[in-house]
Chains A and B, each alone.
Chain A
Amino acid sequence: MDNQSISGKRGITAASAFAGMAIAGASVNMASGQGTDRVRIGLIGCGGRGTGAVGDAMSADPAVTICGVSDLFKSQAKEAAGRFAKQFKDRCQIKPDNVFWGFDAYRKLAAMDLDYVVMAAPPVFRPYHLRACIEAGKSVFMEKPVAVDPAGARSVIASARIADEKGLCITCGTQRRHASDYKATMEQIHQGAIGELVGGQCYWNGGGIWYRDVVDGMSELEWQCHNWYHFTWLSGDQLVEQHVHNIDIMNWCFGGPPAKFLAMGSRQTRDYSRQARDAAIKLNGNDRKARQYEGDLYCHIGTEMTYPNGARVLSMGRHAPKSTNRVNERIVGDKGSSDCCNSIVDHKGEKIWSFNGKGTEGRTEEHAVLIEGMKNKKPVNEGRRIAESTLTAIGCRMSAFTGREISWDWLLNSSKLDYLPPELEKQLKPGPGIFHEVAVPGQTKLI
């Protein structure tokens, strides 16, 4: 199975996530570490990334304790609780009553007495999880992306505003924003080291992604949620789920989202026919739904994003076997160009500036910054920014899926695309799944 990942985030099993974590109590670079004040966290979504994020939080500050877990699946929630207890010993304070599972488990976790919640469930649920936690007065660390459609992005923007009003903190999993090398380089760029921004490129072209088989006892919907990557309504497509990282860097350069999107793509290298057939037979006793079970993602999307100052930027997102992979960003100005993370060159290729400082790892920093914000009562709120980057990726996808040129303005204010409206979210329960046809440009309606 090809689990290409430059950031190391994909394909992490629960076991390997634990193996990679710093031992509790080891020296930490940024935490304030004030006395015995504990920082109580809970987890929504006990997969590889979620449990990994708990480990990042543990490394960020010795005061962090994990107090509750929730997941769609009972086995995932219980397993996570068990491993946390083993790994973190007295920094794990999960009582049996605080292990939750089911479609509404997140509400129960949000109701707990916690300082902040770590959320890493499939992206479609993020806006709901965020709103529940903010309304319950909890700060939040949330994984990217934070939505799969404009409706979800708007919800996150609204929740971020509520968080501001309540003095709550929100940080998110775009870890490059907290990496010291990126931060230093971006500062140079924003101070004019490459002059006026006139172009750029960003890529996440990788090999592929897992496809998860049916586990005994799962209903069709539960299996979909388990195999969430392959369904646009759950993941947002690779363009949103993964490429948002690089798109976020472009928005960081320009200080905001693009004005227009022109995209194209298709799906033909994705072939899960064998696995989908197995899933269909296991769930239904026949293979009639095998085609639907392959999912509806595209395998590549190429987009031109035009920023408000007229600069046109290329975005490429792809999963393709045996291909030339590339995961990085490049920004072009009238005085030079940069890789956004450690080097700036002029147009002759001569170095203008290099990062020479100490590299700090973004992933623990995301938590350290949140904790510091809470403790010092200077709340940090990345909610709107990650909603905008997520919506930018969604815009690329929607343009490719429909073949239409789209404006930011329309996306933010007029699109009615909503894969999981509130009435539907409330009713989610084990049973039939939700399937959409693969989009066809020129035919699939732009909603």
Chain B
Amino acid sequence: MVNASSGKRRFGRQSRRDFLKVTALSAGAVILAGGRLPSARAAGTDTIKVGLIGCGGRGTEAVVDCLTANPAGVQVWAMGDLFKDRLDGSHAGLSKKFSDKARFDVPGDRKFSGWDNHEKVIASGVDMIITATPPGFRPMILKAAIDAGKHVFMEKPVAVDPAGIRSVIESSASAEAKKLAIVAGTQRRHEPVYIETIKRIHDGMIGELVSAQCYWNQGLLWVHNRKPEYSDMEWQVRNWLYFTWLSGDHIVEQHVHNLDVVNWAFNSMPALAYGMGGRAARTSQDCGNIYDHFAVEFEYENRARTISMCRQTDKAADRVSERVVGTKGYSNFDGTICDHKGSQIWKYDGPSPNPYVVEHADLVAGIRAGKPLNEGKRVAESTLTAIAGRMSAYTGRALKLDWALKSSKLDLLPKNLAFGPLPVEPVCMPGKTALI
């Protein structure tokens, strides 16, 4: 059962022991003696104060995940959103759920709206931010947080264009130097079945990687209809999924999850993207300027070519998964590895805790132990992979990821971030859209 907007799968209830076991398994997390919960008292800090930037559905849930993962020692301290109604709605829900002030203490003067809300949250006395704004704003918010010395949990994707990717990579390097944590919302990286499968792939169980496939084909998502009182900017930001400058298009916004898994298996980004895409069914103006499907071939340095497909269309065939193929076998990341005759050669038999919660446990544990996780560059590379696929489909041109990273001048962020007129960029297409 896949939740449309976030690909969440249902996870069973787990024992505390399972939870701790999982925390220990996560890449970069610290193994704790005696199986105790990560202590709130470590690394010289008592409570970690958290600020939420971007109070939509995902952001609000990320706060819940973080507090669930850390029943003590983490306190929501400030909240910010461009829109006051979103801020208020999220605040009301979270206040109800977390009545203990030790976990949630956000009075009126630590609630911020407007274009500078992120700066105010960052300056309000927090140690860490959780940010889930539209992706177009991510690089700028990440930079502000790292510059101010705050740890970061940020949703994926982390940028919408090569300019944003470069900024994120720079911020990640700065975070490394300052010993700041960055965990991004690619939760499969914190999921034991994936971690264990990839471990065996890296150990050679399926041999040399020769191909892979990954998919995010699903139905339509929410649409935020334009109200007469909205300016162009307000409408686009509220309806952000449907504008490439805000979401990156769905190959970036959603499919990055699957592309990240394939990159993880190959231990690198691809070298080349060669794609196609368009708007077959979702063609109305209400749906902005994004595509509704992409089919992209990525070629890795070792010459393996992979299939990436993503689509958002109702009543069409759905599929959300990854598959990696080597000389000795393959895996669908369903807990098994098979050889080319179809016989199972490995099976995962461990717990399946909720990775959305685990990622926050891992984040905080790393901070406490003085070994902060930094996923910034890795998730930037996976995001760039998706962006390159999009750029290839938009222009019809094959393109090297190296070129995209170093030389592409594409920068979609409007020069003036303010409510007011903002013409919608035309839908891109080969023959009309230059590769820049």
Contact = CB atoms under 8 A, between A and B. Distances in A.
Interface stretch (A66-74, A155-163, A244-252, A438-446): A438-446
Interface stretch (B89-97, B133-141, B273-281): B273-281
A302 B281 contact: no
B151 interface: no
A262 B305 CA distance: 18
Nearest to B397: A324
A304 B213 CA distance: 9
Given A268-B427, A334-B327, A347-B302, A262 B340 contact: no
A113 B51 CA distance: 88
A198 B210 contact: yes
Contacts of A323: 395-397, 430-431
A337 B281 CA distance: 37
Contacts of B313: 403, 441-442
A321 interface: yes
Contacts of B330: 198, 310
B315 A321 contact: no
Contacts of B211: 198-199, 312, 332
A154 interface: no
A347 B210 contact: yes
A262 B303 CA distance: 24
A264 B281 CA distance: 11
A269 interface: yes
B316 A441 contact: yes
A304 B280 CA distance: 18
A316 B315 contact: no
B281 A322 contact: no
A199 B431 contact: no
A205 B431 CA distance: 14
A405 B317 contact: yes
B371 interface: no
A196 B327 CA distance: 9
A201 interface: yes
B34 interface: no
A442 B293 CA distance: 12
Given A264-B295, A269-B430, A347-B327, A404 B316 contact: yes
Interface in A375-434: 399, 402-405
Contact of A264 (B207, B274, B280, B327): B280
B319 interface: yes
Contacts of B429: 268-269
A201 B395 contact: no
B317 A302 contact: no
Contacts of A299: 278
B293 A266 contact: yes
Contact of A300 (B278, B303, B328): B278
Interface residues of A, number: 45
B280 A441 contact: yes
A403 B316 contact: yes
B317 A403 contact: yes
Given A323-B430, A323-B431, A440-B280, A302 B305 contact: no
A199 to B, nearest CB: 4
Interface in A213-258: none
Nearest to B328: A334
B309 interface: yes
Contacts, number: 139
A314 interface: yes
A127 interface: no
**Chain B binding surface SS class:** loop
A268 B305 contact: no
A314 B210 contact: no
Contact of A302 (B295, B315, B319): B295
A316 B305 CA distance: 13
B368 interface: no
Contacts of A399: 317
A320 B431 contact: yes
B297 A316 contact: yes
Given A314-B307, A324-B397, A443 B315 contact: yes
Contacts of B292: 266
A78 interface: no
B215 to A, nearest CB: 8
A201 B305 contact: yes
B428 to A, nearest CB: 10
A300 B276 contact: yes
Nearest to B299: A201
Nearest to A303: B295
Nearest to B209: A347
B430 to A, nearest CB: 4
B367 interface: no
A267 interface: yes
Interface string A180-211: 00000000000000011011010001000000
A363 interface: no
A108 interface: no
B316 A316 contact: no
Contacts of A312: 211, 213, 307, 323, 325
B346 to A, nearest CB: 17
Contacts of B311: 264, 403, 441
B85 interface: no
Given A199-B211, A312-B213, A268 B325 contact: no
B280 A266 contact: yes
A262 B314 contact: no
Contacts of B398: 324, 326
Contacts of B208: 347
A43 B217 CA distance: 47
Contacts of B427: 268
Given A264-B311, A326-B274, A443 B303 contact: no
Interface in A21-50: none
B423 interface: no
Interface in B289-344: 292-293, 295, 297, 302-303, 305, 307, 309, 311, 313-317, 319, 323, 325, 327-328, 330, 340, 342
B430 A320 contact: yes
Given A322-B396, A324-B274, A324-B396, A330 B430 contact: no
A262 B319 contact: yes
Contacts of A337: 210, 303
The 9 closest A-B pairs by CB, nearest first: A302-B295, A323-B396, A403-B316, A266-B278, A321-B431, A266-B280, A199-B211, A405-B317, A442-B315
5 contacts: A262-B317, A264-B311, A312-B307, A320-B431, A334-B207
Given A269-B278, A321-B396, A324-B274, 11 more contacts: A199-B211, A264-B295, A266-B279, A269-B430, A312-B325, A320-B396, A323-B430, A337-B303, A403-B317, A404-B317, A440-B281
